[in-house]
């Protein structure tokens, strides 16, 4: 298993479970939906602490589990690789900021006919549907169990960063990392097939 800051090991592990093009596309769409909806759902729950350093600068509503999740993911991604981590952190941090605005400050001009409770329900529905879509991709396209069944933490935490790297690869960045990832993932898939047929 890859170490906490072994980025290439994490990417190879994740790629080993995601080689089918249709399944990868499903994940590229659904993973941001899953994390974004999780941030929104958790934004409803305030942290039971006071942070004096932030008082007067950050509305107290922003100190919640959704903000904590997006901030923790963002910091970890930057530590793993700052070049891809910073855009990923800004994206998910931005999602957290928007969701906090929607939930706590609920701009009536934009969402006059939608209540907080409806937004909350919608987040749960999209969260569940996105998870189901990923299981569909693994069952009917990848023909392999999801990575989370072998390493829940690695799959859940690294999945959004994998998406960020897929975008970087598509844009022509980090191609050396992509090459390493593909080679190592192929080795892991071969080992899996050997064990499966034994």
Helix (H) or strand (E) holding 152: helix 152-170
Q: What is the CA radius of gyration of the chain?
A: 19
Looking at the 3D structure of the chain, how many domains does it have?
Answer: 1
Helix (H) or strand (E) holding 87: helix 82-100
Tell me what the mean pLDDT of segment 58-86 comes to. 87
Choice between 80 and 154, residue whose per-residue pLDDT is larger = 80
Distance CA 74, CA 71 (A): 5
Q: Is residue 1 part of a domain?
A: no
Q: Is residue 53 part of a domain?
A: yes
Average pLDDT, the chain: 86
Tell me what the mean pLDDT of segment 77-82 comes to. 96
pTM over 0.85: yes
Q: Is residue 151 part of a domain?
A: yes
- Indicate the SS3 state at residue 45: coil
Specify the pLDDT at position 52.
59
> In which band, very low, low, confident or very high, does the pLDDT at 105 lie, cut at 50, 70 and 90?
low
Specify the pLDDT at position 58.
53
Tell me what the mean pLDDT of segment 88-116 comes to. 73
Token pair of 126, please?
């999209």
Q: Is residue 12 part of a domain?
A: yes
Residue 61 phi/psi, 5-degree rounding, is: -65, -25
Q: Closest by alpha carbon to 2, among 117, 147, 105, 170? A: 147
Q: What's the domain range around 72?
A: 7-197
Choice between 191 and 3, residue whose per-residue pLDDT is larger = 191
Q: Is residue 163 part of a domain?
A: yes
Burial of 3 per CB tally in 10 Å (0-12, 13-18, 19+):
exposed
Q: Is residue 83 part of a domain?
A: yes
Q: Is residue 190 part of a domain?
A: yes
Q: Which tens digits make up the pLDDT trace of 151-173? A: 877 778 999 999 999 999 999 99
Tell me what the mean pLDDT of segment 84-111 comes to. 77
Tell me what the mean pLDDT of segment 54-71 comes to. 72
Q: Is residue 119 part of a domain?
A: yes
Choice between 12 and 67, residue whose per-residue pLDDT is larger = 12
Specify the pLDDT at position 112.
58
Distance CA 51, CA 69 (A): 16
Specify the pLDDT at position 62.
65
């Amino acid at each position: 298993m890859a170490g906490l800051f072994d980025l290439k090991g994490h990417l190879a592990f994740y790629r080993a479970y995601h080689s089918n093009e249709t399944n990868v596309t499903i994940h590229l769409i659904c993973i941001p939906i899953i994390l974004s909806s999780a941030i929104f759902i958790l934004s409803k729950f305030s942290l039971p602490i006071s942070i004096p350093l932030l008082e007067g600068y950050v509305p107290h509503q922003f100190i919640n589990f959704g903000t904590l999740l997006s901030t923790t993911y963002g910091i970890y991604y930057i530590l793993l690789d700052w070049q891809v981590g910073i855009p990923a952190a800004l994206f998910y941090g931005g999602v957290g900021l928007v969701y906090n605005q929607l939930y706590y400050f609920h701009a009536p001009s934009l969402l006059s006919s939608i209540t907080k409770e409806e937004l909350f329900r919608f987040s749960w529905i999209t969260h569940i549907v996105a998870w189901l879509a990923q299981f569909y991709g693994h069952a009917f396209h990848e023909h392999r169990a999801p990575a989370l069944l072998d390493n829940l933490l690695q799959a859940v935490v690294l999945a959004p960063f994998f998406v960020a790297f897929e975008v970087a690869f598509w844009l022509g960045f980090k191609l050396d990392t992509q090459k390493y990832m593909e080679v190592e993932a192929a080795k892991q898939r071969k080992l899996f097939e050997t064990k499966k047929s034994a």
